[in-house]
Chain A
Amino acid sequence: MSWICPYCGTENYQDDRVGRQEPRCRQCNEDRISPEDLEKRKKKETATLERDCERINEEAARIRESMEFHQSIIEEHTGPLADLKQDLEELRDEMRPIREALKKGENLTIFHEVKDRALKAEQDKYQTILPFEVPA
């Protein structure tokens, strides 16, 4: 007995099963299925897809909530961080003259060392001087 394929609407004449295998549509090669069974299958698949969508939406909502939470933590710390950065800049400004004074002190030490060394050499009877005249 012929049957109409519910997928593509083609009329098929072969309707004998081969073993447990349903005959296939000669046009779209889908298995023979009754329109009612097809409806049931569609409903089932639709329900599965809807459940998947719902699950994905819930997951997205959870991720959004987490992002908002972390964003709020970042915002909570941004203000104090900016304050700390400003404090750091102020400390650096305070340190600059101290650093320069230390460097100046270091240079002073070096030049005092030069003078001390010359004084020590003048008093050292074993230290010779360069063998040429230095005009006064």
Chain B
Amino acid sequence: MMKISQQRLAALCSILQALTPECRMMITDQGWTTRAVDAANVGMVMVNLPKASFEEYTETDRFELGMDVEKWKNMLDVMKDPKDTITIEHPKGMSKLTITDGKYIYTHNPLDPETVRKWPNAPTLQLPAAVVISAAELQEVIRAMLVIADKARLTVSKDGLAIDAEGATDRLHKVLEVQDTAASVLPEVPLSSLFSLDYLKELARGMKSAGNITVHAGQDHPLRFDFDADGIEAGYLLAPRLEAD
């Protein structure tokens, strides 16, 4: 049996739904883990929900759950009180799950994991720069950039993280405040890459329940976001764009 707050489970769904409508969730006696990429292989989400983030966790089985993120989100919109506890039970030998908040009891048939894309291989990327910024500020800045453009250049330098967007006739430049200088690794030589604001907008929305996020970057390299959102250890990887000719 696994008991978790509605708020935390909803946050998990929000983090996943930024990139994918479904995933293979590995459930063990240590908690829940998943990795998934979006259909275009541009973005990847990694989530670890440890046992300690549950209110009660007595699950001893190891099994893979085909998670239909949309359906879970819809169920949580019915069991909508963030203070409620959601109880998830997986009877031994059964494929179905029972999901309840005490008022509603769903007997849920998860997706067949074989029909869901396998986990991507663990990435090995050298991202020399790291900067800690506010998730809320990032979301706000991306919204500002989207007014004029559909892509933005992220540059990490000793001044911090700067975002630049240039549309047909307009430009916007914004430097985000470094939230934790000690945990940041700011390079002497600026490192920058170009990214789709469409993707950045969704990732920023998925990270909205995090306080601070650590952005790992390189020159024309993917971007990695690491964050902790209400007890959920999560990360995103985003592939860069090439500069148009």
Interface size on B, residues (CB 8 A): 40
Whether the Cβ atoms of B239 and A130 lie closer than 8 Å is yes
Indicate which residue in B37, B69, B198 contacts A130 across the interface (CB closer than 8 Å): B37
Whether the Cβ atoms of B42 and A100 lie closer than 8 Å is no
Q: A110 on the interface (CB 8 Å rule)?
A: yes
Q: A108-B70, A114-B20, A128-B239 given as contacts; is B199 within 8 A of A134 (CB)?
A: no
Whether the Cβ atoms of B120 and A120 lie closer than 8 Å is no
- Mark B117-160 against chain A: 1 for CB-CB distance below 8 A, else 0: 11111111100000000000000000000000000000000000
What distance in Å separates the Cβ of B207 from its nearest Cβ neighbour in chain A?
15
Residues of B within 8 A of A103 (CB): 74, 77
Q: A100-B78, A117-B198 given as contacts; is B123 within 8 A of A111 (CB)?
A: no
Whether the Cβ atoms of B21 and A115 lie closer than 8 Å is yes
Cα–Cα distance between A103 and B239 once the two chains are bound (Å): 31
Q: Which chain B residue lies CB-closest to A134?
A: B120
Whether the Cβ atoms of B19 and A114 lie closer than 8 Å is yes
Q: Which chain A residue lies CB-closest to B122?
A: A132
Q: A79 on the interface (CB 8 Å rule)?
A: no
Q: A114-B19, A119-B40 given as contacts; is B123 within 8 A of A132 (CB)?
A: yes
What distance in Å separates the Cβ of A113 from its nearest Cβ neighbour in chain B?
8
Q: B39 on the interface (CB 8 Å rule)?
A: yes
Residues of B within 8 A of A120 (CB): 198
Indicate which residue in A110, A126, A129 contacts B41 across the interface (CB closer than 8 Å): A129
- Mark B17-44 against chain A: 1 for CB-CB distance below 8 A, else 0: 1111100000000000000011111111
Q: Which residues of A13-69 are within 8 A (CB) of B?
A: none
Whether the Cβ atoms of A118 and B73 lie closer than 8 Å is no
Cα–Cα distance between A124 and B243 once the two chains are bound (Å): 12
Q: A95 on the interface (CB 8 Å rule)?
A: no
Q: B242 on the interface (CB 8 Å rule)?
A: yes
Q: A133 on the interface (CB 8 Å rule)?
A: yes
Q: B90 on the interface (CB 8 Å rule)?
A: no
Cα–Cα distance between A136 and B31 once the two chains are bound (Å): 26
What distance in Å separates the Cβ of A58 from its nearest Cβ neighbour in chain B?
58
Residues of A within 8 A of B198 (CB): 117, 120
Q: A114-B17, A114-B20, A134-B37 given as contacts; is B120 within 8 A of A129 (CB)?
A: no
Whether the Cβ atoms of A126 and B42 lie closer than 8 Å is no
- Counting residue pairs across A and B whose Cβ atoms lie within 8 Å, the total is 103
Whether the Cβ atoms of A111 and B21 lie closer than 8 Å is yes
Q: B237 on the interface (CB 8 Å rule)?
A: yes
What distance in Å separates the Cβ of A95 from its nearest Cβ neighbour in chain B?
14
Q: A114-B38, A118-B39 given as contacts; is B125 within 8 A of A131 (CB)?
A: yes
Cα–Cα distance between A70 and B222 once the two chains are bound (Å): 74
- Mark A83-105 against chain B: 1 for CB-CB distance below 8 A, else 0: 00000000000000000100110
Q: A122 on the interface (CB 8 Å rule)?
A: yes
Q: A78 on the interface (CB 8 Å rule)?
A: no
Cα–Cα distance between A113 and B42 once the two chains are bound (Å): 15
B interface residues with partner A (beta carbon < 8 Å) = 17-21, 37-44, 69-70, 73-74, 77-78, 117-125, 196, 198-199, 202, 222, 237, 239-244
CB-defined A-B contacts under 8 Å, sample of 23: A104-B74, A111-B17, A111-B21, A113-B202, A114-B38, A117-B40, A117-B198, A121-B38, A125-B242, A126-B241, A128-B42, A128-B239, A128-B241, A129-B42, A130-B37, A130-B43, A131-B125, A132-B120, A132-B121, A132-B123, A134-B41, A134-B118, A136-B117
A interface residues with partner B (beta carbon < 8 Å) = 100, 103-104, 107-108, 110-111, 113-115, 117-122, 124-136
